[in-house]
Amino acid sequence: MKKILWCGGSHLANARPLIEEAHDTGALGAFDAEFYVTGGPRNRDWSGAGGRYTVEGSVVSGNAHEPERRIDLAAFDAAVFIGQYIQPFKAFIGDVPHSSSVVERTLRELPIEGRFHDPERGIRHRWYNEPLVLFPPLVSGPTFLLPDPAPVGKRYGDVPQPLKQAYHNRMTDFCAEAGITYVDMPPELFTEDGRTRRRYALPGDALHMNAEYWHVVFDKALLPAMTQIL
């Protein structure tokens, strides 16, 4: 049976019931699903501290979350990343409309190299998502990226629209270079200032979305993008 590898962190966890439903009884019934936690703070900090996947042929080693895991990526007919795990509110906080030069410099190395600073938490991270580069050429079929949901909070709404657009452009350019299909989110999910509408958020959570959100994403964005393998 054909297989799809699903990668990501907390957003993958929120979308997982819907993914399993699609594999069990829905549009992805011709495929088996396998999940691999490549995101989340633990993996981010691991890669930020120098942790790297090793590769033998098409087999990649584990990460901080699943150190003993070995996955043969050639065995998959597609891979889907749920979230790139670097959200634009990490790169831009507040309402300063930075110049195009500064924005370009800021995003130049997204999402593979470069550091970003979270001043509120006093944390410095590298925005490193190695699997986005490493996995696609090893998978037997196409790779898809669903971007992180836009946060619902005002803090993200205050970020000037050109900055959000620049971030989006950088991600799509990167995906084009890396041979990844970037899945654009349906516009109905967003407010005018680019936030996800609050009705789609989990209760008391500005970053993670509910089943209704993922239904819209699947039905109107991801599944149409996956027609090439369906």
Partner 1 sequence: MSNNPYKGLPESAFWSAGVAHHSPFEFEGLYSRKWRIQKKTQVATAGSCFAQHIARNLRARKFSVLDMEPAPPGLPEEDHLTYGYGTYSCRYGNIYTARQLLQLLQEATGAFEPQDIVWEKDGRFYDALRPAVEPEGLPTAEEVRAQRRDHLTRVRAMIEQMDLFVFTLGLTEAWEHVESGTIYPTAPGTIAGFFDPDKVRFKNFGFAEIRRDLDDFLALAREMRGGRNFRVLLTVSPVPLTATASGGHVLKATTYSKSVLRAVAGHFESRPNIDYFPSYEIITNPAARGLFYESNLRSVRATGVETVMKVFFDAHGTAASPQSEASTRPRTTPEAVAPQLDEDVQCEDALLEQFAR
The tokens for 225 are 């993008």
Enumerate residues 106-125 that contact partner 1 by CB under 8 A. 106-107, 110, 114-119
Nearer to partner 1, 31 or 89 (CB): 89
| From 29, 94, 179, 224, residue interacting with partner 1 (rule: CB under 8 A) | 94
Regarding 173 and contact with partner 1 (CB under 8 A), the answer is no
Q: How far is the CB of 194 from partner 1 (least distance, A)?
A: 16
| From 100, 161, 169, 191, residue interacting with partner 1 (rule: CB under 8 A) | 100
Q: How far is the CB of 190 from partner 1 (least distance, A)?
A: 21
Enumerate residues 137-166 that contact partner 1 by CB under 8 A. 163
Distance CA 187, CA 26 (A): 24
Task: Please choose, out of 50-58, 96-104, 136-144, 189-197, the segment that lies near partner 1 by the rule CB under 8 A.
Answer: 96-104
Nearer to partner 1, 22 or 103 (CB): 103
| DSSP letter string, the chain | -EEEEEEESHHHHHHHHHHHHHHHHSTTTTEEEEEEE--HHHHHHHHHTT----EETTEE---SSSTT--EEGGG-SEEEEE--S--HHHH--SS----HHHHHHHHTTTTTS-EEEETTTTEEEE---HHHHHSGGGSSS-EEEEPPPPP-SHHHHTS-HHHHHHHHHHHHHHHHHHTEEE-PPPGGGB-TTSPBPGGGBPTT-SS-B-HHHHHHHIIIIIHHHGGGT-
Regarding 228 and contact with partner 1 (CB under 8 A), the answer is no
Nearer to partner 1, 122 or 204 (CB): 122
Task: Please choose, out of 19-27, 42-50, 51-59, 97-105, the segment that lies near partner 1 by the rule CB under 8 A.
Answer: 97-105
Q: How far is the CB of 6 from partner 1 (least distance, A)?
A: 28
Q: How far is the CB of 181 from partner 1 (least distance, A)?
A: 25
Tell me if the bond preceding 67 is cis, omega within 30° of 0.
Answer: no
Give the footprint of partner 1 on this chain (CB under 8 A): 90-94, 96-103, 105-107, 110, 114-119, 127, 163
